[in-house]
Amino acid sequence: MLTPTGAVCATHPDVAAVATCARCGGFLCGDCTELAGETPSCAPCVAVLRQEARPSRVIPVALALNVVGLASLPCSLYILALPTLVAGLVGVVLGMRELRRIARGEGAERGRTLARVTVVLGWVDLGLAAGWAAFVLEAAWSSR
């Protein structure tokens, strides 16, 4: 077996380095190189970057939309809780999308709780909108 000349991987000293970690500067072989965005990083630094990263901006917007949907429910007597229904759908879809991104390692770990709250609130919005719509339709049907 040939001994590599030059820089060697910090984890595998018998393998030549192909990159350096952008965060800590450690040498990496092809097996140890992970991409954080477009920069090469080692696994421990990727874990730290995921912990320190800011959550997606989409989730706070979806959460705020769900709160607005809840607040608008009493005002939507004749439009069958459409704003609450839309807010609930957006909350569930975007929250689940963010949770999948986090599970794949593409999203910030700090956003997990916010994404879960958004999904739960989205389901609450959907349930309330469905209940409100059933109530309004039943009242309209029974008044005939």
Helix %, strand %, coil % for the chain, to 5? 60, 10, 35
Q: Taking the model in full, what pTM does it have?
A: 0.67
Query: pLDDT (tens digit, 9 = 90+) per residue, 16-35?
Result: 889 999 989 999 998 998 88
Q: Which domain, by its residues, includes 76?
A: 53-142
Give bridge partners of residue 35 from the DSSP assignment: 40
Query: pLDDT (tens digit, 9 = 90+) per residue, 60-113?
Result: 899 898 888 888 877 766 666 788 888 999 999 999 999 998 888 778 888 899
The verdict on 64 and 11 lying in the same domain is no
The verdict on 1 and 28 lying in the same domain is yes
Q: How many domains, in total, are found in the chain?
A: 2
Residue 45: pLDDT band with limits 50, 70, 90: confident
Q: Does 140 have pLDDT greater than 80?
A: no
The verdict on 26 and 41 lying in the same domain is yes
Instruction: Provide the token pair at 10.
Output: 């910090």
Helix, coil or strand: residue 40? strand
